Amino acid sequence: MSKQSSLPWITPAGRETPARERLSVDAIVDAAYVVLNREGHEKLSMRAVAAELGVAVSSLYTHVANKDELIRQIWLRSFLASEVPEPTSDPEEWARRLRTWMHSIRDTLREHRDLARVSAGQHPFIPEALPQLERIIAFFRSVGLPEPIIAAAGDHMSTFIEGYVSEEQVWEERMRRLTPTERENVAESVAHYFGDLDPDDYPNLTDIGPTLMVHAEKDERFDRGIEILIRGFMSYL
Amino acid sequence: MSKQSSLPWITPAGRETPARERLSVDAIVDAAYVVLNREGHEKLSMRAVAAELGVAVSSLYTHVANKDELIRQIWLRSFLASEVPEPTSDPEEWARRLRTWMHSIRDTLREHRDLARVSAGQHPFIPEALPQLERIIAFFRSVGLPEPIIAAAGDHMSTFIEGYVSEEQVWEERMRRLTPTERENVAESVAHYFGDLDPDDYPNLTDIGPTLMVHAEKDERFDRGIEILIRGFMSYL
DNA sequence: TCGGTGGTAGAACGGTGTTCGTAGACATCC
DNA sequence: GGATGTCTACGAACACCGTTCTACCACCGA
């Protein structure tokens, strides 16, 4: 870099690096993602992000109004990254594309620890998100869904996926705190938990209680969940 | 109270009230509800709850392990308060009861500011919640839903309602921050926001964008949302 | 009447988001 | 080339937060 007038192999006293590598919103969001992945959403603080960048906390506020806006930026990046499927008027093909789209959203939320919890409650009405929103509406419209349903469909989809992944990660967090031997016996202790109930008091729970909690075949549950939604959507065609 | 051995009309020096009104989990949860309603979830702190009770912060910790447990207690009270409908095998009647149940859950969440946000992500598997859970399963079973669907149905229902009410209240919060004149023009500015878009770039958004955002007829949106869900459920009968 | 017990309280610790004034690097103009 | 002004990183500080520790003190049973 030619920022310094002194010769490059002579560093000015008291200054290790040329420094003043300019910050940017992008760099800040990058760092926030790193912190989020490594430490989880509870540890995602302005100080942690600043430390990740090797920068003072107060410097962040030149580029980002506050923590809420930083979180909105994090959400925005993942929202824009999602590949909205191409429109189609064939219901079967439409449902197939919707399914794989929902899977891909779930997967990106899964990849980044706690991104789901951070994303929940964000609205896609800010200007930067409009092109993506346009594509989403185009897709929902293409199969011939009535307009009032389209508005509900998008919300429904995102709240379901975010809620699902959040819950999944809460569960994983809880598992992470267990000892290895405890972890192995989870299925067993779940069975006991419901098995010990008095069948007279809890006829239904003793019956199907365990299936409520078994998160082993997680993907099955997700698939069943989105199938309920898709059937609901398709009933309006 | 007969806690003092001294005569009741003689108060010991330096002590205005008999004091030492014993704390309890119930009293703490009461106070937490008051704070939540009055100040919102961001202001719900251990210190605020303690102040509401006129008590030291540290005193709370003899009755409640930490803030997470306090929140779980708050959620538990609202969970137990919900009146689960009676089972029925008539699909039409079943759907009707499910609808009114979901309405009532939404209403209690609405009543207490930010209760929805606080409730999200709680699991009904703690022992105190089991009787209620038993009733819920009994209801879902009664119409003949397949077992794998039942597990998904409960989750689906609660994440939808919680997500819906949270979003609604975020919107209201935003409105609360506006000046009265701004508030009057919200519908207008929404129309402008989407109307100013180039129809060539955003054919779908200019068409139905406004219907996405109009929260005036909120209840309609909620009803459409739960109808999608119920149709999805019923498709498995 | 005397201990022991258990709930209360105050102070403190380490963390948080945010604000403010300062100081320095850069680009621009004279 | 030198002065000017703008932009931005920075350190310190403020007002909070959840939680812990220790001392105190009212009550209970002996």
Q: pLDDT of A158-213, one tens digit each?
A: 999 998 888 888 777 777 766 777 777 777 777 788 788 888 889 988 888 777 76
Residues in chain B closer than 8 A to A228 (CB atoms): 149, 152-153, 156, 229, 232-233, 235-236
CA nearest to A226, candidates A78, A105, A116: A105
Tell if the CB–CB gap between B148 and A224 is shorter than 8 Å: yes
Closest residue in B to A200 (Cα–Cα): B134
pLDDT of amino acid A41: 87
The tens place of each residue's pLDDT in chain B, 237 residues long, gives 333 222 232 233 333 333 446 789 999 999 999 999 999 888 999 999 999 999 999 999 999 999 999 999 999 999 999 999 999 999 999 999 999 999 999 999 998 888 888 887 787 888 888 999 999 999 999 999 998 899 889 889 999 999 888 888 887 777 777 777 777 777 777 778 877 888 888 999 888 877 776 655 678 889 999 999 999 999 999
Task: Indicate the angle between helix axes B91-111 and B67-81, nearest 10 degrees.
Answer: 140
CA nearest to B73, candidates B106, B131, B115: B115
pLDDT of amino acid A224: 92
Tell if the CB–CB gap between A228 and B152 is shorter than 8 Å: yes
pLDDT of amino acid B217: 66
Residue with token string 């824009």: A80
Closest nucleotide to B1 by C1' from CA: D27
Tokens of B144: 């003949």
> Residue A107 — pLDDT band, cuts 50, 70, 90?
very high
Give residue B85's identity as a one-letter amino acid code.
Answer: P
What is the average pLDDT score of chain A? 84
Q: From the CA of A139 to the C1' of D25: give the distance in Å.
A: 70
Tell if the CB–CB gap between B130 and A197 is shorter than 8 Å: yes
Assess contact for B116 and B162: CB atoms under 8 A: yes
With b meaning 16 or more CB within 10 Å and e meaning fewer, what string describes A129-138? bbebbbbbbb
Distance CA A194, CA A208 (A): 9
Closest nucleotide to A20 by C1' from CA: D9
Query: Measured on CA atoms in the order A35, B122, B106, B172, is the torsion positive or negative?
Result: negative
pLDDT of amino acid A173: 77
Going from the N-terminus, what domains does chain B have, and what CATH number goes with each?
87-235 (1.10.357.10)
Assess contact for B161 and A231: CB atoms under 8 A: no
Assess contact for A102 and A162: CB atoms under 8 A: no
pLDDT at A145 over 80: yes
Weakest-pLDDT range from A132-136, A151-155, B76-80, B85-89: A151-155
Assess contact for B236 and B145: CB atoms under 8 A: yes
- Give, rounded to a whole angstrom, the gap between the first and last alpha carbons of chain B: 61
Assess contact for A84 and A74: CB atoms under 8 A: no
Considering only residues 11-30 of protein chain A, which place a Cβ less than 7 A from any atom of strand C?
Answer: 15, 20
Q: Hey, what long-range contacts does A218-223 have (CB within 8 A, 24 or more apart)?
A: A218/A168, A220/B148, A221/A164, A221/B151, A221/B152, A222/A103, A222/A106, A222/A164
Distance CA B17, CA A187 (A): 54
> Residue A21 — pLDDT band, cuts 50, 70, 90?
low
> CA angle at residue A137 from A131 to A141, to 5 degrees?
145
Task: State mean pLDDT over A51-77.
Answer: 94
pLDDT of amino acid B213: 67
Distance CA B89, CA A11 (A): 82
> CA angle at residue B36 from B30 to B38, to 5 degrees?
105
Tell if the CB–CB gap between A133 and B224 is shorter than 8 Å: no
- Give, rounded to a whole angstrom, the gap between the first and last alpha carbons of chain A: 61
Tell if the CB–CB gap between B159 and A156 is shorter than 8 Å: no
Residue from B67, B84, B137 whose CB has the most chain A CBs within 10 Å, to mutate = B137
Measure CA to C1' and name the residue nearest C20: A58
pLDDT of amino acid A17: 37
pLDDT of amino acid A66: 94
